[in-house]
Amino acid sequence: MFSNGGFPDNYNPKMTWVKKIIFAIGALSKPCTTAEIVDYLISIEPALGRPRTKSIGSVSAILSVNKGDLFTKEKNKNGETEFYYE
């Protein structure tokens, strides 16, 4: 069980989408697809799964715009686009 109101330490459901994406990529410790990021976020904040498509759209839009080059993207061996944060 988490001590942070049911959320992992350093996670707050009021964080911006950018901060949530950074948190998810950091927690998963690997380059991630949009779906992997959203699925992880839903696992800790189930409300984001209602509907999942809205969360996918939000994360996808942020990763596409990528202001300030926060996220690096690359294709994996399956041709899927993955993102990572340094």
Going by pLDDT thresholds of 50, 70 and 90, the confidence category of residue 26 is very high
Would you say residue 5 has pLDDT above 80?
Answer: no
Would you say residue 84 has pLDDT above 50?
Answer: yes
30 φ, ψ (degrees, to nearest 5): -165, 160
Going by pLDDT thresholds of 50, 70 and 90, the confidence category of residue 3 is low
Q: How far is CA 51 from CA 21, 47, 79, in A?
A: 18, 8, 26
What pLDDT is stored for residue 1 in this prediction? 46
- Higher-pLDDT residue of 69 and 47 is 47
Give the start-to-end residue ranges of the domains of the chain.
17-85
Architecture of domain 17-85: Orthogonal Bundle (1.10)
Q: State which amino acid sits at residue 57.
A: G
Would you say residue 2 has pLDDT above 60?
Answer: no
